[in-house]
Amino acid sequence: MPITDSTVIQLKLAQIEGRESAPAGCLTAMRLYHDLLLSMCDRLEFIADTLPVPVNITECQVVTQDLLPSMTASHQFEEDRFFMDARLVLKGGCALDDTIARLCEEHREDQFFAEEICEEIRGLILGGGQKNAEAMGYMLRGFFGQMRRHIAFERDFLYIPMTEKLIRL
C-alpha cells in the first residue's frame, strides 16, 4: 500500500499518543487530526474532479476505507479532550458551550454524510464509473466543502485563540 499523507499523519499521531496531556501536546494532536481530515477532503476533491470515470479505483477503495475511521478518531479526540481544553483555556462561558454543542452536532451530521459518501463511492466503483456521476460529484463537493468550513471555524475560533493564550502564559 502506498504511503499517503494520511498514513504519515496517522503515524505521527501514534507517536504522540499518550503524550498529549500537556496543552501544547493537545494542540499538536488537534492540528494533526485537522491535517488528516483536510487530506481526506483533498482526496475526495481529486475523485470528484475525475468523475464521471474514477481514474484510480485503488485510491477510491482506500478513501472509503480511511474516511470513517479518520473522522471517528478525530471527532472522539475533539469531544473527549480538545473541547475540554478549549473551555479551560478560553473561559468562554455559555457562548462557548453553545458553539461546542453545535460543533458536536456537525460531527454527527458529517459522520452520517460520510457513510453515504462511502456507500456511493463503492457503488460508483461497482457500476463502472458511469452511474449518477453528476449527483455523486455534487454530493462529494457538498461534503468536503462542509468539512473544510467546519475545520476552518475550529482553527480560527478555538485552535488559534488557544495557541495565542498559551504562548502568553
Chain contacts with Fe ion (rule: CB under 5 A): 78
- Give the CA angle between residues 147, 106, 162 to the nearest 5°: 80
Nearer to Fe ion, 78 or 120 (CB): 78
Length of the chain counted residue by residue: 169
Q: Are 95 and 87 in contact (CB under 8 A)?
A: no
**Distance in angstroms (rounded) separating the CA atoms of residues 92 and 101:** 13
Minimum distance from residue 67 beta carbon to Fe ion (Å): 15
Minimum distance from residue 157 beta carbon to Fe ion (Å): 11
Minimum distance from residue 125 beta carbon to Fe ion (Å): 28
| Cell numbers 482506500: residue | 62
Nearer to Fe ion, 110 or 120 (CB): 110
Minimum distance from residue 153 beta carbon to Fe ion (Å): 8
Which residue's C-beta sits nearest to Fe ion?
A: 78
Nearer to Fe ion, 20 or 78 (CB): 78
| CA 106 vs CA 70, 71, 95, 141, 157: distances in Å | 16, 12, 17, 17, 15
Nearer to Fe ion, 47 or 83 (CB): 83
Minimum distance from residue 107 beta carbon to Fe ion (Å): 6
Nearer to Fe ion, 70 or 136 (CB): 70
| CA 62 vs CA 47, 137, 169: distances in Å | 12, 18, 43
**Distance in angstroms (rounded) separating the CA atoms of residues 118 and 66:** 10
